[in-house]
Structure formats: structure tokens, C-alpha cells
Chain A
Amino acid sequence: MSSTAFDALKPSGMPRPRGNGVPPTAADSAALERTWRDPPGLVGWLSAINHKSIARRFVLTTFGFFLAGGLLALLMRLQLAVPRNTLVGPDLYNQLFSMHGTTMMFLFAVPVMQAVAGYLIPLMIGARSVAFPRMNAYAYWVFLFGGLMLYAAFLLDIGPDAGWFSYVPLAGPDYSPGKRVDFWAQLITFTELSALLEAAIIITTVFKLRAPGMTLARIPLFVWAMLVTAFMVLFSMPSVMLASTALIMDRLVGTHFYNPAQNGDVLLWQHLFWFFGHPEVYLIFLPGLGFISAIVPTFARRPIFGYTAMVLSLIATGFLAFGLWVHHMFATNLPELGKSFFTAVSMLIAIPSAVQIFCWLATLATGRLNLKTPLLFVLAFFFILVMGGLTGVMLASVPLDLQVHDTYFVVAHLHYVLLGGAVFPLVGAIYYWYPKFTGRLMSERLGQWNFWLFFIGFNVAFFPMHLLGLQGMPRRVYTYPAEMGWGTMNFIATLGAAMIAVSVLLFIVNLLRSRRHGEPAGPDPWGGGTLEWATLSPPAAANFDAIPVVHGSNPVWEEATRPPGTPSAVGGLAVDAREQLVTSVLDAQPDHRSQFPEPSIWPFLSAVATTVLFVGSIFTPWAVVWGAVPVAVATTAWFWPRRRETRTHVALEQQP
């Protein structure tokens, strides 16, 4: 197959780097550590591509945005605590709720899930890294710069103020002059680019880099959840990208997508936004379900009940999520018959979630319970998410929705489902995997206090909002008259918000203290069954010295019962070069070896160039043209092969 011409352009090879043995020797281990770790120094830090390093930064950054969003909410609650309050005027208040929603939805809830997945998925599937490590780094930087841009705008008092879903014409050129909404729309571009790249990375990683023997029917449910989520990202995020690009164009270059005076349509925005926006909340919810499916088996000391039903439920939820969006538009003048269809689908999507809930209950009922903090946070789901899901069923009904749409009832519902379905499981997941990330356990005592304060505070803050909505209080009002009688419940809600703030503080204290003073964890403090518990805590740079060969769904639990004479691990993969085993999609049979890129500064520089292009294009459309040049230069330098690396690859080369 090869032609001399082709070979002539390859750098002359060196001797083939040796592969690892099984069991791997100490020399193997040391070599792998040298090969896969991040380079030192500042340039090294900017060039890092180890999936765990990127994921750590990503999680910390999203958590930082969570705290910022929470502070904004606290300010809102202080303003609303009493009627006709003058703490915050309408202009600042409109920025507060817009920033709070935008931060939580775009800068926290979706990215944190992708970040945690970026850490855990390679460990759970027996891989050394994600499929496209440099793109993974680029996605992080783009996300960070987008978030920083938004907060810079806010701190300069030009933050977006048209809400997190920015309805036109309010957000259009006529009624939102200036740059505020442009910053919002461009933030969408940043975060959507980051999320789409992460999704492609997750899909490729899960499909192609699994350890031999880990068929699709054996991957952990958390990995299934992230896989379905990633597919949903691919098909939903383009909608908001298109919507926000059209909005920027209406505002900047005079197009008329949303301008009814020139035959554009105001509702086009809502359709495009909610076609993304409804799947978006499932992008947040599904990973939460994945966390629960990871935690429950470990703390019930048995595999999950009904694995197949759980997988089918995740997939069904993913599909159905695309058929609900009009339920955000029931108050518009769309045809009534169409609305009834969306009522039906919006109610029926409860069924796959119900399947999951019943299967978890069955698992807990037939298991033996280890009531530690991670499980507590998961149990909160059964209270909070179930209540939120039931108010969701209420909202699915057109007549009921027409009364409580755009009131505090919806605010209550969305917080119950988002915190119950995603944030509580996420906090549980942090308590669960913290020992893996850091090598130490978090404090159980502080964990219990954290949990109860959060649980009680949450309900005190948000339950009264159901009643406020039924009593006629609309959303997004910076204050309200005393004679409406909403004062008492608003005050109670503010007290609850304060409780939540204290519980978050406790969480932070627990996180920080446990770094130094937590009980050392070892590889498997909880007795988990999935592959991440077979690595060191924290894992070595290469994750596994020898990629395990898997024979069931809970490899660590099943290790003792491995049939004799079957291979336990993969040997022969290079230890002095970045090499991984690529396996087949369905059955994870070994297919070929793939050489992986070394750390590089170019993803970071490309992200800087991308940021210049995106931010510049808020101010002038020509930025798209001249900004494209540095982006092209940086991405070309990123791609361009290096002689030394190519030499190593050639040494390992074997034609198919």
C-alpha cells in the first residue's frame, strides 16, 4: 500500500518505543507518568491538555460562576424581601435576574456536567484521555473567556437586562439600544461553541476509547447519561446559535428576522430559542440522573435494578425532550390544537423519568444501605425533583399554564427541578468523587450539616413561591405593592435564600478543609464497582498503567470472579509515547492503536484569537473578517505536525 514518495516525507524513524507489560512494571509506571503529565511552569499550565487538569479547571470555574450567580440571587431576594423596597432599582434588578439566569444556565449548569464528565468518563471506560485532548482544552478556554466577557460587561453596568431568554422585540435594536443584549447574544456563541465541542469529544471518547470487553451494554449509566446528553447538545445547541446570530444581525447590520414591520416574526425567536431551550433543561437533568445511577448502586451495595430499562429511559427522555418546546409558548396566539399535542408530550415525558425513579427505589429496597452524605443528597432528589416534576405536569396543561405561566409558580417549578434534579445530585457527586479527585474524604459531619441546611433552606426559599404565583405575583418584577399581600411569603423566601447561602458556605469550608485534613481515601473508599475506583486517588497522569480488560458492568466488583485464563489487561501500548487503544463501537473489540497529541499552547492562543473575533464582532461586522486571520493562524499552528512527534509516531507506525 505505501508508496516510496509517501515514506520519503516521513521523518526517519527512531527505534520503536517499548510497550507496557502485564502486570506493568515500576519502570512502565514511571515512564507513563512522565509521558502523560502536564508540562511545568506558566507556559506549561497554559499548554496543559491532560483531561483531568482541564476538567479540574473547568469544574472550579463553573463553581465560581455558580457562586457569582448565587450572589446575584441573594441581592434579588434582599430587594424582594419587603414590598416597595428601594435597595435595587429597576435597571439594576433587570440586569440581576438576567445575569442570574444566564450565569446559572449557560455558565454553570450545562458546563459543570460536561466538566465532571470530562474527568470521569476516561476513568470509567478504562481510557487514558478523552478523544481530542487539545480541543478539550480549547473548549475550556473559550468557555472561560466568554464568561469573563459577560461579567466584565456587567461590572461596567452594561450587562444584559432582557432576561436569560431575551425575547424580541424587547431585546431587539429598537427597545434594547446599546451593547447589553449583544454581550448576551455573544455569550451564547462562546458557551454554545464550547458545549458543542465537548459533546463531540464525549461521543467520540465513549464510542471509540473504551477498554476491551466493555460493550455498550456494560458501560456505567453515568456514561450513558452523558452520551445521550452529548447527542442532545449536537441537535439542540445549533438552534440557539442560529437564533442568537440572527438577533445580533438584526441589532448590528439591520436584518429583519424578528421585525414584524418587514415581515419578520417575533415568535420566530421563541420557536428557535425554545427548540434549544427545552432540551437545554434536560441537558442539565440527564447528567443528574447519571450521578444518581452512579451513587445508588455503591451505597446500596448492589448493581442497579433494571439497567436496560434505565438506558431506554435515558434515550426516550432525550428524544421526547425535543418535542416539548411549545409549552413555553402556550400564552401566545398559536393554534390551540397544536398546543394540546404539546400538553400530551409534556406530560408523557414524565414516564421515562418515573421508570428511573422506580428502578432506583427497587435498588434501594433490595440492597443494603450505607447512609453516607452522597446518598443523602441523592435522596433529596426524591423529594425535590419529584415535587418539581409534578408541578411540571401541572404546567403541561394549557389551562393551568395560562394562569401560572410567567409567575412565581414557574420560578418555584424550575428551581425544584433544576436543584432537585441536578444540583443536589451534583453536590452528592462531589462528595462521592472528591476522594478520587484529591485522595481525601470530605467530612461526614460537615456534610450532614451542609445537607440539612441546604435541603431545609431550599424548601423554605422556594416552596412559598408556588403560592405567590397562585396569588398573582408575576415574574421579573423588581418590587410589588404592599396591598397585594405578598410580603410575608417573599420575606420567608428570602430567609430560605439566606439559609442556602450558609449551606453553600459550609460546602466551601468542607471542600477547603478536607484538602488538608480529610481522611486519606485510598483508591476505593466507598467500595464502588466501576473502573474509576481501580485507579489511584488522585489518578496517575495516565490513569491506568495497563488498560484493564473488562468482563462485566461492575469490573471492580467482578474482578474476583473473572474467569481464569482470560486476559486481565492490555499490554504492548507505548509507555514513552502517548498511545491509546481504539476499540469498536458496540463490543469494544481492540481495533487499532492511536497516537495522541502532546501538550500545546495553541489551543489557548486559538481561544484568545476566537475571543477577539467574537467580542470584536459585537462592535463591528468587519471583525468577522479581520478577526478570522489570527484564528486561522492559531488553528493552523495547532494542527501543523511537529517533526519530533511525527518521528515518534512513525516509529510506532503499522499500516492497517
Chain B
Amino acid sequence: MNRGSIARTAIDPRHPVRVDAQMLDASALPSYAFGHRSLMWWGTLGLIAIEGTVFALAIVSYFYLRSLAPRWPLNALPPELLWGTLNTVVLLASMLPNHMLKRAAEAGDLRRLRIAFLACLAFSLVFLMVRVFEFRGLNVWWDTDAYGSVVWLLLGLHTLHLITDTYDTGVLAVLMFTGPLEGRRLVDASENAQYWYFVVLSWLPIYFVIYLAPHIPQ
């Protein structure tokens, strides 16, 4: 018996070939794929798991500190509902061009893809601007007390994601205009859309905690 024959025939070409060796021919397989078939999808999923856990733990910390406090907010008015609610609407609306982006990427339609990228970037501009007003409307500073600290933490963490998502989208948008392109870039665009979904949807529980939870009796 030919122990180690994989080594002998497949790696070490100095040794004789196995007569009944047969090949699985991969040459005709596609060279890229969308969704969970792609490596990028799994990388993005890993990022989502990590960031989702961070958000979840920050939210748990919020309620933990609240459970120990005599009143909540401690010494401040609750955050103004206007700006947060407005931004929630903007973020949710941004899912439309984002979805268009994903479909265009999977269809390979460059024209629609470029339009979708520009639309997404426009939305980014708006929600980042409104986010500035949100911070000002929090009615508390990060160093006032623990309530201020945890509210700024939540809003700050999410804002970090908005900024990095905007930057990613911007870089890809430029690439869509300048090239060089290949099929894999369509997958990158599709996965960017995936991440965008996460950034928008993860906002919803954070919105609830920052803006609505102070109105719920302890």
C-alpha cells in the first residue's frame, strides 16, 4: 500500500503517478460570488458580531447604571427628541439607496451603482450633520456624571460607525468612477451595503435607549 501517496503524487513530482488518480476540475467555476458564498460576507459578519456585541454591552451598561441611580437622568433634562427622531427617519430612508446599491452591484449595472453610491453619500452628509445637532441636544456633557458619560458613549460609538461607513462608501464610490474594476469590486460594494444595513438597524435600539428610555419610569 502506498502510504503517504498524496504526498508522493500531489506534492513530490519525482515519484510515480497513481494510475487511478482523477481530477476535480475547478477551472470552470465562477471567480466571484455574492452573499454568504463570498469571503467578504463572512468578514463583514465577523465585524457585525463584534460591533453588535459592543453596542449590546454599552446598552446593558446604560441600564445597569440606571438601576443604581436615584433618578434618571441624574441631573439633566432628557435629550431633545427632535434631532434624534429626525436622524432616525434619515437613516431609515437611507436604506433605499443602499438597497438600490446592493441590487445594482449584484446585477453588475455600473450606471445605477454609481448613482446609488452618490445617493448614499448624500444621505451620509445629512445624517452626519444632524448628528452634530443630536450631540448638542443631549442636554448633558460627558463629564457631568455617569448618565452623561454613558449617553455620550452610546451616541459616540454609533457616530464612529457612521463616519467609518461614510468613508468606506466614499472610497468605493470613487473607485466606481476611476476603476480599475473587476467582479470582486461588485462583491465589495454589496458587502458595504450589508454593513450599512447594520449601521442603520443597530441605531434603532440605541435611539430607543438614548431618547425614549429616560421617559420610562425607573
Chains A and B touch (C-beta atoms under 8 A apart): yes
Which residue of chain A has the shortest Cβ distance to B181 in the bound complex? Answer: A9
Binds B, one of A50-58, A63-71, A248-256: A248-256
Also in contact, A536 and B26, with CB within 8 A (given A565-B20, A649-B182): no
Distance in angstroms between the alpha carbons of A549 and B10 in the assembled complex: 11
Write the nearest CB–CB distance from A49 to chain B, whole angstroms: 15
A248-281 residues at the B interface, CB under 8 angstroms: 249-250, 253-257, 259, 262-265, 268, 271-272, 275
Write the nearest CB–CB distance from A126 to chain B, whole angstroms: 10
A2 close to chain B: CB less than 8 A: yes
Also in contact, A590 and B29, with CB within 8 A (given A234-B49, A265-B64, A265-B68): yes
B residues near A21, Cβ cutoff 8 Å: 23
- Please state if A536 and B11 are interface contacts (CB–CB under 8 Å): yes
Write the nearest CB–CB distance from B137 to chain A, whole angstroms: 19
How big is the B interface, by class? Answer: 35 or more
Could you say which of B12, B54, B183 contacts A241, with CB atoms under 8 Å apart? B54
Write the nearest CB–CB distance from B166 to chain A, whole angstroms: 11
Distance in angstroms between the alpha carbons of A570 and B50 in the assembled complex: 35
Could you say which of A242, A570, A582 contacts B37, with CB atoms under 8 Å apart? A582
Return the CB mask of B18-42 against A: 1 if under 8 Å, else 0: 1011111111111111101111001
Write the nearest CB–CB distance from A541 to chain B, whole angstroms: 12
Distance in angstroms between the alpha carbons of A647 and B93 in the assembled complex: 38
- Please state if A560 and B2 are interface contacts (CB–CB under 8 Å): yes
B212 close to chain A: CB less than 8 A: no
Which residue of chain B has the shortest Cβ distance to A546 in the bound complex? Answer: B10
Count of A interface residues, CB-CB < 8 Å:
103
- Please state if A23 and B21 are interface contacts (CB–CB under 8 Å): yes
A residues near B39, Cβ cutoff 8 Å: 131-132, 204, 208-209, 582, 594
Could you say which of B4, B5, B32, B49 contacts A653, with CB atoms under 8 Å apart? B32
Also in contact, A559 and B2, with CB within 8 A (given A3-B111, A246-B153, A568-B10): yes
Distance in angstroms between the alpha carbons of A23 and B51 in the assembled complex: 45
A383 close to chain B: CB less than 8 A: no
Extra pairs beyond A571-B27, A653-B182 (19, CB < 8 Å): A6-B110, A22-B10, A22-B21, A23-B10, A200-B46, A203-B42, A204-B42, A208-B42, A234-B49, A235-B53, A242-B54, A264-B145, A265-B65, A560-B3, A569-B24, A582-B37, A639-B171, A640-B171, A641-B181
A-B pairs with lowest CB-CB distance, top 9 = A572-B27, A200-B46, A9-B179, A254-B143, A22-B23, A255-B149, A571-B23, A264-B146, A646-B180
A-B contact pairs, 25 of them (CB 8 A): A2-B108, A5-B110, A6-B109, A22-B10, A131-B42, A207-B42, A235-B49, A239-B53, A242-B58, A249-B142, A250-B149, A263-B70, A263-B146, A263-B147, A546-B23, A565-B22, A568-B10, A568-B18, A568-B21, A573-B26, A591-B37, A592-B33, A636-B171, A646-B182, A649-B31
